[in-house]
Amino acid sequence: MSARIVITGVAGFIGSHLADRLLDQGHAVVGLDNLLTGSTDNIAHLTTRDFTFVKHDVTEHISVDGAVDVVLHWASPASPVDYLEWPIPTLKVGALGTHKALGLAKAKGATFVLASTSEVYGDPLEHPQRESYWGNVNPVGPRGVYDEAKRFAEAMTVAYHRYHGLDAKIVRIFNTYGPRMRLNDGRAVPTFVAQALAGEDLKIFGSGNQTRSFCYISDLVEGIGRLMASDINEPVNLGNPAEMTITEIAEQIIEMTGSKSQIVHRPLPVDDPRVRQPDITRARDLLGWEPRVTLEEGLTRTIEFVKQKRA
């Protein structure tokens, strides 16, 4: 059955891919974005479909005419470069923006889905990270503006579920990559691919032994769709449990691009997590979900996207 779905942060990397999937399924999408870090390039291809774009800052009151069945709250700067440049807007969209998006869902009787993050676990002392882990976060460190904004957003989402009976869901997103990522946003895959294609040194912060897990965007969106349609109200990790070091992903990108680039090291940023790996038992058991796209396949698609962007 088709639904009318509001996506905040629709012009961002994940938000735009969510819009694609939902429109392909026959749903109507209303997308909101203030374009602080999003781009209309990501949604330009949607103009001929059942899609409405509204430029709006969701920290202000959200008004949408007509029925709304689902609210997907994806608005937020999402990379260290962004939330270090925009610390206060990051805090505001996590707090005020979540409050306004929850208010819309409550007023419309809609399901609410919050885009949370593996960053709620901070520099984790539990490995891999399960949803039951409370995290190890420095609230006054430079990353705290993002980490605590998302932790507060989770607390408010759960409060609306418990107090108002809102059907509210939380997805904790681990490192995701693919087409439409900004090439200069500081995240490992697009940055390394762009540097390799340009023949520049790949800059690794710290020793390169810190680990991450990389999930391709289509796998993530599939998981979000399953969570949205489920009756689950506990947080759910979505990500790829295949853990690898930053050096390993850099070396693979150099090899796949045929680049002559070298790896160079820079000082590790404050509070940079040493390890990151999701325990996806809950997603497997409750959603029947796990990643399908191999790293080589996902990187091939991403490299092609970056080549087109640089052309």
Q: Which residues are part of the catalytic machinery? A: 146
Three-state DSSP class for 122?
strand
Closest CA to 249 of 204, 200, 217: 204
Report the 10 Å Cβ neighbour count for 130.
15
- Asked if residues 23 and 10 have their Cβ atoms less than 8 Å apart, the reply is no
The gap from C-alpha 235 to its chain's centroid, in whole angstroms, comes to 15
Cα–Cα distance measured from residue 296 to residue 167, given in angstroms and rounded to the nearest whole number: 37
Confirm if 223 and 172 have CB atoms less than 8 A apart. no
Q: Which residues pair with 307 in a beta bridge?
A: none
Which residue in 156, 180, 152, 181 sits closest to 168, CA to CA?
156
Contacts of 287 (CB under 8 A, 6+ apart): 223, 226, 227, 230, 232, 236
